Amino acid sequence: MSSRGLSNVPTRDLKYVKSELEQIGAKIRAKRKSMKMTQEALAEQIEVTPETIRFIEQNRRIPSLPMLIRIARALKLDILK
């Protein structure tokens, strides 16, 4: 994963943040699959391309906070827990 998009993260926190971000894609994929939802269906629900979902799940793209919220809602996750 590139550090692109992490320029505002203090250096001391960068390793931790990158580690957490690397897990997001796998967690999204696991939840989506547990719901028997395709990448295409998730993409359609949150109004992005299937490629965007694929890149997020492969940790090739870091989703923005608004996109993470849309994904969480589509996957019926309570992100405030």
Q: Which two tokens stand for residue 26?
A: 């796998």
**Does 68 reside within a domain?**
yes
Tell me if 27 is assigned to some domain.
Answer: yes
Model pLDDT, residue 76: 95
What is the residue-level pLDDT of the chain in tens, covering all 81 positions?
445 566 777 777 777 777 787 789 999 999 999 999 999 999 999 999 999 999 999 989 989 989 999 999 999 998 766
Please list, residue by residue across 32-68, b when 16 or more beta carbons sit within 10 angstroms of its beta carbon and e when fewer do: beeeeeebeebbeebebeeebbbbbbebebbbeeebb
Instruction: Give me the pLDDT at residue 4, please.
Output: 55
What's the CATH number where 34 sits? 1.10.260.40
Domain that holds residue 16: 12-74
Q: Is residue 41 part of a domain?
A: yes
- Cβ–Cβ under 8 Å, residues 53 and 42: yes
Q: What is the pLDDT of residue 8?
A: 75
- According to the model, what pLDDT value does residue 70 have? 96
